[in-house]
Structures are given as C-alpha cells and as structure tokens.
Amino acid sequence: MIVRSCTTGKLLLNLVGHTEVVRDLTFAPDGSLILVSASRDKTLRVWDLKDDGNMMKVLRGHQNWVYSCAFSPDSSMLCSVGASKAVFLRNMDKYTMIQKLEGHHHDVVACDFSPDGALLPMASYDTRVYIWEPHTGDILMEFGHLFSPPTPIFAGGANDRWVRSVSFSHDGLHVASLADDKMVRFWRIDEDYPVQVTPLSNGLCCAFSTEGSVLAAGTHDGSVYFGATPRQVPSLQHLCRIPIRRVMPTQEVQELPIPSKVLEFLSYRV
C-alpha cells in the first residue's frame, strides 16, 4: 500500500504486509493516524502512520475475504465484514473480539457507523441492508431491495439485486445504498421505503460528502458520479439524541430514569 501527502502528492510510506488484494481502508476518526486495511488474505492490519507506518497488529478471525471495515466515531470499535456472512466487532483498545453478528444470508460487503455510533448499517449480497445496534447485536431495521425477499436458501440467486455499498449521512437521518439493479436508493432511518431513487449502472461504492449534500458513487468502469442527496431539517428531538448517543452506549441509556417512550427514541426503536 502506498501513502502519499494529500497536499503535495509526495510518496510518504510504502506499507508492506498483505499477501492479497486490499479491499478497504479506514482511518481512526480520533486523528491518531491509525489506519486499518482489509484484505482478501483474510486479515485486517493496523498501521501507525505516526510511527513510520509501523504495523501494530494483525487481526485474524475471518475465514474468507474481508470486504470492508469501519471505525465507530469514537474510534473504540472496529466493524469488519466479509465473505461467508462474516461480521465481527472488535474493541480497538485491546484488539479483542466483542461479538460476531449473525443475520445476513450471503456475503456482507460494506458497513458504516452512524455519526453518533448508535447504528451500524451493513450491505449484503442477500439483497438487504440491515441496520444493527452495535452494542446489543440486535437488528433494528431492514431495507429490502427485492420483493418478496429471497428465502435464505436462495439468498444468492437474486444477483441482479446484490447490494454493493452503504453509507450513512452526516445528519444521522439518511442511509444511501447502491445495488446491482442499477439504482441508488436513499432511505430515512424512520421509514422502511426509499425517499429517493436515482439510476446508476455498474455501481460499486458510494460515500456522502462532509456536509451531506452530495453523494459520490464509483462504478466498475472507473467512473465517479456525483448527485444531490435528500435534504431535510432534522427535528429538535433528533438533534438532541445525537450528542447523547455519542457519549452514552445503549446499556447506559437503558438505565436512565426517563419515560419509556423517550428511552425507545434514544435507542432508535421508534
């Protein structure tokens, strides 16, 4: 892997260690310059770019290709997803396994935490995006791309609906998904149907801009497309929920002496 300066393009580091294709990269959001790479060699590797690219740790556990990885916003957790329905959550302070999430029926190829770290959407070839509660391992929402959904035994048969990518907007309200049916869909976290659909052929990956008004989408033929995203003024309740969930995991929220409806809202269960 090659690391270059974003301002000058100068070569800074050459990171050597993986033995197969590197599928994904993610920086720790805390500014520590810790980089994690996910590879077809079935490993993730943790690099310290402040220490001349020193490889700090090799994370094992996947039995097949690792497709994608994502840090939680506070950098404490790492989610990694891959072939054979594998989804792992790790503690990045101790490099220990927190839990393995089970629910998808085919390869899981993309993941992305919400801005407050309370939600974790994942895209799979089983034609679905599941949104997980990373602290409890529960599936809170399901966004389907094929109706009726394929049964588990045929989950890999609808390959014209395979979901390739998922990205969470920075307002914490919208999720974008990109599938092989030549569509990009925008979902609200409180609705079970897309609020906007945009055509795109050969889509492979997508990401929201920092302020959230633009979605960039990359394709198999090497092109990058940019499109406007749905815009909505968040409710006051949602704006209050985000800072609370940034500092309080689900277990602590559930212990608050507050009305049950408020508790459900803070837990994204309404």
**Cα dist from 224 to 74, 129, 147, 203, 251, whole Å:** 30, 23, 29, 9, 41
Q: Tell me, what's the pLDDT at 4?
A: 87
pTM higher than 0.85, yes or no? yes
User: Percent of the chain having pLDDT more than 90?
Assistant: 87
- Chunk the chain into consecutive blocks of 10 residues (it has 270) and report each block's average pLDDT, rounded to whole numbers: 88 93 97 97 97 96 97 97 96 96 95 98 95 95 85 64 95 96 96 94 95 95 96 92 95 95 94
Q: Tell me, what's the pLDDT at 150?
A: 73
Segment 104-155, tens digit of pLDDT: 999 999 999 999 999 999 999 999 999 999 999 999 999 999 877 776 655 5
Q: Tell me, what's the pLDDT at 158?
A: 67
